[in-house]
Amino acid sequence: MTDTPFPFDPGATAAMLDWTAQRIADGPDPKHGAQAFAALEPVLGGSITAEGIGAREAFALFTDTIVPSTRPFGHPTSLSFVAAAPSRAALSFDAALGAAGIFAGNWDGGAGAIHAENQALRWLADLAGWPATAGGVFVAGGTLGNLSALHAARHRRAQAVPRPERWALICSVEAHSSIHAVARVMDVDVIAVPTDAGGRMSAEAAAPHVSDRVFAVVGNGGATNCGAVDDLAGLARLCAAHGLWLHVDGAYGGAALADPQQRGLFDGIERADSLIVDPHKWLFAPYDSCALLYRDAGHGAAAHGQQAVYLDTVDKTHWNPSDYALHLTRRARGLPLWFSLAVHGTDAYAQAIARTRAIAEAIARGIAARDALDLLLGPQLTVILFRPRAMAEADMVRWAETHRRSGALLCLPTRWRGEMVFRLCIVNPETDPAQVLSVLDSLPG
């Protein structure tokens, strides 16, 4: 063995890989969930010592304490927030990718990985109906994707018009919280436009808010709380008329572009300027990745490229992912999606997304048929909002906690038009509607 400060027994590597294989086969345990600081501290506190505790002990902390104290988002009964449903292919590959230790910030560092990631980006660009100029990069999540796209939007607008006292963007009141967070980082105002009864923003509602200080309109491609897809065709026309950038936040819903039955909801997206889709939401990839795409990738590069003498050796004639978002170093986080697509094929993806939608429809039908429950909305994409007719808010919270703890169902309350409601968001094609409805039968009538 070469002299190293970090000797490591290959047997320990093998043991970790065995655990990994078993975990991927079994999936997460639905009974797992966050434990209190007071429970974790006696076990994990002090685990970093001067001498080290060794691989066996450190890995046992991971398997026996860390993993059980995490929410099993990948389980088919996990139907709150926007969960995850990584394919076994994607999870297996992610383990291998970690071992490969690839730097994918620029072509020199990660050409093969970048080329393959770009295949997955091209698939998404084709689904959006975008030309050969389209391109982008995988970033860590939708928040960073939204920030990077909107920075490019303002950069382009700033070349064309005098700088206003305050920049502003237009979005709907249903826009994700990350749009507001991005606006704070960019120090721009948010003009939040009211929606229709389903949470959809129309071009007519947005139009009166257009002014010289607006640089972009953000259309929902699947609002988180209600699943609404905004009137993208109308918004594209509005943006074209005023030289504005249309950004589509499809972090959750953009996956539905792959389902021919749902594609019509996104008509107009072919004229949008940028789009994000999170593969860790409804594209069956593990955390964390967001596909950020520009219809004209040159706008992304104009806004984001970094320059420094120590970067002069980077070959600028190649595709350098660091040029397209707010980052430099990056792992090839789009590769698990590429691998899963390559293994299963795009038809399997279309079918899995259509099946998820069918599961949501079956659950919504079951809710509508139950006297104890009011179906309020949906499914829109795969989001369902409903309310038990005779249940106080505190009881709803207690019911949700009981079923979360037992592992039967993660179904947490949200608010819709001011009222507490239950929300389901299905992204897992293995969710069983009959099982979900049988849990909902425990709600009092």
Ligand X SMILES: Cc1ncc(COP(=O)(O)O)c(C=O)c1O
251 sits near ligand X (criterion: CB under 6 A): yes
Nearer to ligand X, 250 or 268 (CB): 250
**Least CB distance to ligand X at residue 82 (A):** 5
The amino acid occupying position 435 is Q
174 sits near ligand X (criterion: CB under 6 A): no
**Least CB distance to ligand X at residue 327 (A):** 14
Long-range contacts of residues 323-326, Cβ cutoff 8 Å, at least 24 apart: 324/135, 324/136, 324/137, 324/148, 324/292, 324/294, 324/297, 324/300, 325/136, 325/137, 325/139, 325/144, 325/145, 325/148, 325/292, 325/300, 326/139, 326/144, 326/147, 326/148, 326/151
Nearer to ligand X, 135 or 142 (CB): 142
Judged by CB under 6 A, the residue of 151, 156, 157, 176 near ligand X is 176
**Least CB distance to ligand X at residue 370 (A):** 28
Give dist(CA 187, CA 181) in Å, integer.
10
**Least CB distance to ligand X at residue 18 (A):** 31
**Least CB distance to ligand X at residue 16 (A):** 27
Candidates 46-54, 97-105, 125-133, 248-256; binding stretch for ligand X (CB under 6 A): 248-256
**Least CB distance to ligand X at residue 253 (A):** 7
Tell me the number of residues near ligand X by CB under 6 A: 12
The b/e string for 23-43 (b: 16+ C-beta within 10 A; e otherwise) is ebeebbebeebeeeeeeeeee
**Least CB distance to ligand X at residue 100 (A):** 24
Nearer to ligand X, 140 or 350 (CB): 140
Candidates 195-203, 206-214, 227-235, 249-257; binding stretch for ligand X (CB under 6 A): 249-257
Restricting to residues 138-167, which ones interact with ligand X according to CB under 6 A? 141-143
β-strands 290-294, 419-425 pairing? unpaired
Nearer to ligand X, 53 or 185 (CB): 185
Nearer to ligand X, 80 or 224 (CB): 224
Quote the distance between the C-alpha of residue 425 and its chain's center. Answer: 13
- Helix 88-100 vs helix 335-344: angle between axes, to the nearest 10 degrees? 140
Nearer to ligand X, 224 or 431 (CB): 224
Judged by CB under 6 A, the residue of 78, 92, 172, 178 near ligand X is 178
For residue 441, cis peptide bond before it (omega within 30 degrees of 0): no
Quote the distance between the C-alpha of residue 298 and its chain's center. Answer: 24
Nearer to ligand X, 82 or 203 (CB): 82
**Least CB distance to ligand X at residue 387 (A):** 22
Nearer to ligand X, 255 or 391 (CB): 255
Question: Who's near 139: CB < 8 A, 6+ residues apart?
Answer: 145, 148, 289, 290, 292, 325, 326, 327, 330, 333
Cβ atoms < 10 Å from Cβ of 393: 11
Interaction pattern, residues 79-108, with ligand X; x per rule: CB under 6 A: ---x--------------------------
224 sits near ligand X (criterion: CB under 6 A): yes
278 sits near ligand X (criterion: CB under 6 A): yes
3-class SS letters over 103-121: CCCCHHHHHHHHHHHHHHH
Torsion of CA 57, 31, 429, 438, to 10 degrees: 170
78 sits near ligand X (criterion: CB under 6 A): no
**Least CB distance to ligand X at residue 288 (A):** 7
Give the residue closest to ligand X by C-beta: 142
252 sits near ligand X (criterion: CB under 6 A): yes
Task: Calculate the alpha carbon distances from 136 to 211, 286, 293, 424 in Å.
Answer: 29, 19, 4, 31
Which residues of this chain interact with ligand X, rule CB under 6 A? 82, 141-143, 176, 178, 224, 249, 251-252, 278, 290
